Amino acid sequence: MTPPIAVVAFVQTTHTGHDTGLSETELLAPVITEIKERTGRKRFGFTCSGSNDYLAGAPFSFVAALDAVGAWPPIAESHVEMDAAWALYEAWVKLLSGETDTALVYGFGKTSQVDTAEMLTVQLDPYHLVPLGVDGVSLAALQARAYLERSGAEEDDLTAVAARSRAAGRANPYALDLPEPSDDAYAVAPLRASDLPPVTDGAAAIVLASGDAARDLCERPAWITGFDHRADPHSPGARDLSRSASARLAGERAGAAGVQVAELHARFTHEELILREALGLGDDVTVNPSGGPLAADPMMATGLIRIGEAAARVHDGTATRVLGHAASGPCLQQNLVCVLSGDHDG
């Protein structure tokens, strides 16, 4: 029988809204050092990272980050060109195989270096979308209107999400200090500046462990009781943008029902509302107590941080059943749901 697997440690940078002059590797190094100290381990059975070369503007930019880990003698290592939440999924599968009992997962991103809305353009369908120059914010705005018109929600409901997220972010020492949303002009209507994620530089790391190793490394491990990721068709016109069918399916398969806290990878205010509906999160669920991506969005680590923040609620004993969510692609095209519990039987 496969031993249970848990998040046993989570570390993140104090994220900044501007470039502080540190390279990605320099951002990451203290995070890796701290998580090694926290777990008392210098080496892990598997290492997996998530990052994006377009953010740095250089191919294979993730290789340099291995300097922060220490890769000699050779380590078992992998990388995904996705948010590090998907690296965590790969590490979870590796641990499920029983090949090893610990894994280090990390992600990093500096969105201060490039206009991310335009950077996301080049990652779209190259035949029908890239030549139009449609950017990430414009695509999000198309989904926002589809949701508002279908649900009857108002733009004020979006602003309320921004206000709550920013207030929570101000209380979170790792997130940015962003002001109350004011009556901003539209970035791309119906989205205003406060409906958009802030420019953020940062990094984060998680250590996964299975069975006895997890109990050794952590007083209250956050056991993964369900983990699933699903994708919608890539063409934004081939699906109902007002809903997230893939998030609903991933949530059902991971067992989202009954969580107390949900950390959602909602980079735009309307995405939180779509995800709450898709995951069946009622008013009794605390959503994004960290402030979420609207308070700090170090791209490629943002999704991993959701799982880390959710796990931290189990580590500190304030919750027993939590959910971390990550998204990728235009208009919430791909969704990953990780359900964690203080009890390994769920």
Partner 1 sequence: MASEPNHVLEFPGGYTRSVGPVIGRFLSELRDGRIVGVRTAGGRVLVPPAEYDPDTGEDTTREFVEVGPAGTVTTWAWVPEPRPGHPLDRPFAWALIRPDGADTALLHALDVGDHAEPPRLLKTGLRVRPKWRAERTGGIGDIECFRPEVTMITAPTRLEYRLRGGRALDRFLEGIEQGKIIGHRCDVCGQVIVPMKGLCPKDGVPTTQEVELPDTGTVTTFAVNNLPDPRAPEVPFVSAYILLDGAGLTMLTLVAGLPADQVRMGMRVRAAWRPRAEWTRAMSNIKWFEPLDEPDVPFDDIKDYL
Among 38, 145, 170, 220, binds partner 1 (CB under 8 A): 145
* Binding residue for partner 1, selected from 131, 177, 258, 316, defined by CB under 8 A: 131
Maximum Cα–Cα distance for the chain, whole Å?
A: 58
Question: How many residues does the structure list for the chain?
Answer: 346
C-beta of 333: minimal distance to partner 1 in Å? 11
Q: Cα–Cα–Cα angle for 232, 166, 33, nearest 5°?
A: 80
Q: Which residues 6+ apart lie within 8 Å of 111 measured at CB?
A: 55, 199, 200, 201, 297, 298, 299
Nearer to partner 1, 94 or 270 (CB): 270
Distance (Å, whole) CA 157 – CA 170: 20
CB 4 within 8 A of CB 163: no
Per-residue binding letters, 48-87, with partner 1 (x by CB under 8 A): ------x--xx-----------------------------
Number of residues that bind partner 1 (CB under 8 A): 41
Site for partner 1 in 214-233 (CB under 8 A): 232-233
**Closer of 132 and 171 to partner 1 (Cβ):** 132
Q: Rounded to an integer, what distance in angstroms lies between the CA atom of residue 17 and that of residue 83?
A: 19
- Work out whether 236 is an interface residue with partner 1 (CB under 8 A): yes
User: Residue 122 burial by CB count (10 A; 0-12/13-18/19+): exposed, middle or buried?
Assistant: exposed
User: CA-CA distance, 346 to 343, in Å (whole number)?
Assistant: 5
Distance CA 83, CA 204 (A): 11
Note whether 120 binds partner 1 by CB under 8 A. Answer: no
The least CB distance from residue 33 to partner 1, in Å, is: 28
Identity of the residue, 45 or 202, whose beta carbon is nearer to partner 1 in the bound complex: 202
Q: Minimal distance in Å, beta carbon 146 to partner 1?
A: 4
Q: Is there binding between residue 274 and partner 1 (CB under 8 A)?
A: no
Q: Which residues bind partner 1 (CB under 8 A)?
A: 54, 57-58, 114-115, 117-118, 121, 126-129, 131-135, 138-139, 141-146, 149, 185-186, 188-191, 232-233, 235-239, 241-242
